[in-house]
Structure 1
């Protein structure tokens, strides 16, 4: 109690329940959601635009592929109608002979094909025994172009290049034992001595019973040599048969030939 017997009234606090204690955001903070929404809408629009452009590109490729498949493209039409495209380009393919003819149409060869590569095939002479065991040939009835013959068994090379050389001889080996050597030689101006290109060597021995069965006292067998060699102009190619008395004469039993397969010289 207070002095004088008068009591003091207690202090009363009043609580206002309608008062709001939630803090309101400022005006600057409320702008960020709007800006982010606009940015997301812009990215979505760019994505849709890219999809539309890609779809148009794919559709254009599909239409071009469809034109080729249906043969509507001008290039496809030129391939399917070569005569029309040839007339447009100025080149006309002419058909030789009527359509109903059985003749094979001939096409004029190119200028490079007109000049044929050198070749020659010599046939054996009726008397093929030359000097130093060299085999003689007949050149008058031979097939040749761009190559010569010296009349002594040597084939003359006129153009440098790689040649396929071959030689076939028919030999009578009726003796009891004999050694037979068939050679293809080359004589060139770069060397004094001849060069051996091909050789076949065989020891031929037979029994008496076998030799008795041989008709006409002959035992014939063939020797064939072939190879590819680089030859220069003025080279001479010839064939040697050691002990050439065993050779069987005749144009069909003996051959010698050469033909060019590549002109000039391959640089390595």
Structure 2
């Protein structure tokens, strides 16, 4: 009982059994997680480094293989792959240097040889009638050329021995009457007194009135000859045509030419 008759109520404490408790993290577990992350990053780094090193080895192997594939065509590599005695190997090595150093001069010499090969092309003259059915040509104007070859009185003059491709094209007008046309390429040489027939085109042409009417009174057709022959220095090449009055003159309709395809002789 309290003094004065006043009753004091006792204090009541309520305990909440549903309260949340926050547990403090364990220090050992957090350190283990950090170590695990660092170890994982280290493994990833080592993996990437391994891939990089492997790529470098593959690239070096590829370069070595490429060098070997190119080297197998080199005389030096062939000598190394087939060892010889010391004296023979010394001789071989002494020969490799000059051969390689002479590659460029040899190429230049071959190029100069090609540039010096004779060739010629002549065009038809306005007055192509010559002696003995030999046709005359123009050799110094327009699209004409005579390189290491000469020309005189309808003849191409050979200056160097070799195999030549010869050709000739003529335009014939057969609008008036039927006639025998003989187009020939001939050769004159020091070994024989008479001319030698190399090629011939022989045909009979009769006028076609329909073609002559359509082309203004002309019935035109072409005769073409071409072949390869061995010629010697001093030979002369010329073209003959029987019934020369049937030929249509002009630089565009008629031509003659030659060019060397192989110098010297195969039989040498």
TM-score, L = length of structure 2 = 0.60
**SS of residue matched to 1:176:** coil
1:168–1:224 contact (8 Å) kept in structure 2: yes
**SS of residue matched to 1:174:** coil
1:68–1:76 contact (8 Å) kept in structure 2: no
**SS of residue matched to 1:72:** helix
Q: Write out aligned runs for 1:257-268 (5 A).
A: 257-267=257-267
Instruction: From the two aligned structures, give the one with the greater helix fraction.
Output: 2
Gaps of 5+ in 1: 1-65, 80-88, 92-108
Closer, same or farther: CA 211–178 of 1 in aligned 2, 3 Å: farther
Closer, same or farther: CA 112–69 of 1 in aligned 2, 3 Å: same
1:198–1:225 contact (8 Å) kept in structure 2: yes
State the Cα RMSD in Å: 2.9
Q: Does 1:70 align with 2:62?
A: yes
Closer, same or farther: CA 155–77 of 1 in aligned 2, 3 Å: closer
Following superposition, the deviation at residue 215 of structure 1 comes to 3.0
Closer, same or farther: CA 76–186 of 1 in aligned 2, 3 Å: same
1:163–1:229 contact (8 Å) kept in structure 2: yes
1:117–1:146 contact (8 Å) kept in structure 2: yes
Closer, same or farther: CA 249–69 of 1 in aligned 2, 3 Å: farther
In structure 1, distance between residues paired with 2:60 and 2:193: 69
Closer, same or farther: CA 77–162 of 1 in aligned 2, 3 Å: closer
In structure 2, distance between residues paired with 1:74 and 1:163: 44
Q: Write out aligned runs for 1:148-163 (5 A).
A: 148-150=150-152, 152-163=153-164
In structure 2, distance between residues paired with 1:71 and 1:198: 59
* Residue number in structure 1 paired with 2:196: 195
Closer, same or farther: CA 161–189 of 1 in aligned 2, 3 Å: same
* Residue number in structure 1 paired with 2:173: 172
1:168–1:254 contact (8 Å) kept in structure 2: yes
